[in-house]
A and B are shown apart, each in its own frame.
Chain A
């Protein structure tokens, strides 16, 4: 009895399920369409400011670009041929010193966070999070009190300090993520050969995490290059060519800020050109970090 009925009822059940499924499929398509259009709308909303900022900066900035612009020192308002050579070198020095200090510190901290689960690690992680949320102007004031007031003069090194403090939490976070991505079995393999944990970290974990570490460092440098507020309190800017980190120094974002608020069109022109150059540098760093990560990642793993 049940033997003969069962197939029929199964058949009926199957038809009902199929009907429900096709009904839900139609609903799903509508939801999907609505969802996609909302996403597309927000994408446009997000892209409008980005593209308009980029387009306007390009439009205004390109006019300023010339051989003189990249190779000359600034000139007083009204005298043509001024450039940002000193600011380019200044940014390189300020951010270079900041990175040289922040990178080892940040990677070491990231390694520690990735490798230990103790309370200390929790405190450090929290501190790094808080630090990354502190407005950069506050860090500028801190650097001003710590290194400018105490030394009695503005200096590039104080700017490096402020920028370095901004870079550290970014590098810590990126390094921790990159190092956690290294398969645990590789560390175990190293240890099983009689290596100490420090040796495994140095010879196995860090080299394997290298693409991620490079990405993190480049992103941190990209962030540091564009920071203006901390430099206002520290490196302050300069009209001259300076390489002594103990003295005031010009920097790209300072040129944008200081020349941009001048009444003279030629100085504003310099500010636009510098802004475009800054955007280009940041873009190159960001895209470059992605490319390096992708390339190294493919070859290595």
Chain B
């Protein structure tokens, strides 16, 4: 059903084929689709007119210099801007065949399907490792121990943390190292079984070794979720992503999408000169 809706031909019938020339369609099915999405804070545009598809079970990287609106765009996908009173999101965000801002899905239900990992590891400091992993399930009303245990083990294994914490699940999350804490946060998101995992520069506060492990993890997560990752690090984008979108701050100081393409194409034969300038290190 969802697959059928994301079929390009169906889209054409639905009249959603805007700006196809600018953004080559990603291969396979799309898990999330943006149509003319713009974000403004207090009437001031921060990101404008993004039309972009995120491929299912792949890693999409949002790259671009500071101020290009990567994080702002990412946070529209799970309605994090709802908490900022002055924020206004226009355009259409689709998760499968559900209009994210259409009123048919509550922000809380949406966020249980679109998880998020943040720049700095933010485990709940009052909770144990185990309680952190199953926090999302409990918040959503899950109580059955069998379900919680199973979800915790599965999520921790996916986050490559199970072996090092299985004997100290009751220990405080703050006992873990920074990299482990970030993997715990990834496990916490995975435990809710989201369809999409948003990652906002998840390695920006980690050392190179921990960064490497997170990057390896991201590529392994593909089978479980579709990943959308914001990074300011182009090498990281090359290493982890299959598909890549390049954003840039325009003259009006608002971010805009320059181009999106499979990562190898974007880095080897970008269509836009500005992309070439950026990836070859001429600015940003």
Q: Is A76's CB within 8 Å of the partner chain B? A: no
A198 to chain B, nearest CB (A): 10
Mostly helix, strand, loop or mixed at chain A's interface? helix
Q: Is B80's CB within 8 Å of the partner chain A? A: yes
Q: Is the CB of A185 within 8 A of B118?
A: yes
* Contacting residues, chain A, for B85 (C-beta < 8 A): 117
B187 to chain A, nearest CB (A): 12
A111 to B115, CA, bound (A): 26
Q: Is the CB of A191 within 8 A of B112?
A: no
With contacts A203-B135, A203-B139 taken as known, whether A193 is within 8 angstroms of B189 at the C-beta atoms is yes
Q: Is B267's CB within 8 Å of the partner chain A? A: no
A300 to B115, CA, bound (A): 25
Q: Is the CB of A208 within 8 A of B124?
A: yes
B124 to chain A, nearest CB (A): 6
Residue from B111, B113, B116, B125 in contact with A300 in the complex, judged by beta carbons closer than 8 Å? B125
Q: Is the CB of A194 within 8 A of B112?
A: yes
Residue of B nearest to A185 (CB): B122
**Most B Cβ at <10 Å: residue of A189, A191, A193, A204:** A193
With contacts A117-B85, A203-B139 taken as known, whether A189 is within 8 angstroms of B111 at the C-beta atoms is no
Q: Is A66's CB within 8 Å of the partner chain B? A: no
Q: Is the CB of A194 within 8 A of B126?
A: no
* Contacting residues, chain A, for B185 (C-beta < 8 A): 189
Residue of B nearest to A199 (CB): B139
Residue from B80, B120, B126, B136 in contact with A193 in the complex, judged by beta carbons closer than 8 Å? B136
Q: Is the CB of A191 within 8 A of B122?
A: no
* Contacting residues, chain A, for B174 (C-beta < 8 A): 300-301
Q: Is A120's CB within 8 Å of the partner chain B? A: no
Residue of B nearest to A189 (CB): B122
* Contacting residues, chain A, for B110 (C-beta < 8 A): 194
A164 to B31, CA, bound (A): 55
Seen from chain B, the residues whose Cβ lies within 8 Å of a Cβ on chain A are 78, 80, 83, 85, 108-113, 115-116, 118, 120, 122-126, 135-136, 138-140, 172, 174, 185, 188-189, 192
Seen from chain A, the residues whose Cβ lies within 8 Å of a Cβ on chain B are 117, 183, 185-186, 188-196, 199-200, 203-204, 207-208, 210, 299-301
User: 12 A-B Cβ contacts within 8 A?
Assistant: A188-B122, A191-B83, A191-B111, A192-B115, A192-B189, A193-B136, A193-B188, A193-B189, A194-B140, A196-B108, A196-B139, A300-B126
Q: A189-B116, A189-B123 are in contact. List 18 more A-B contacts (CB 8 A).
A: A185-B122, A186-B122, A188-B116, A191-B111, A192-B80, A192-B111, A192-B116, A193-B189, A194-B109, A194-B112, A194-B139, A194-B140, A195-B108, A195-B136, A203-B135, A203-B138, A203-B139, A207-B126
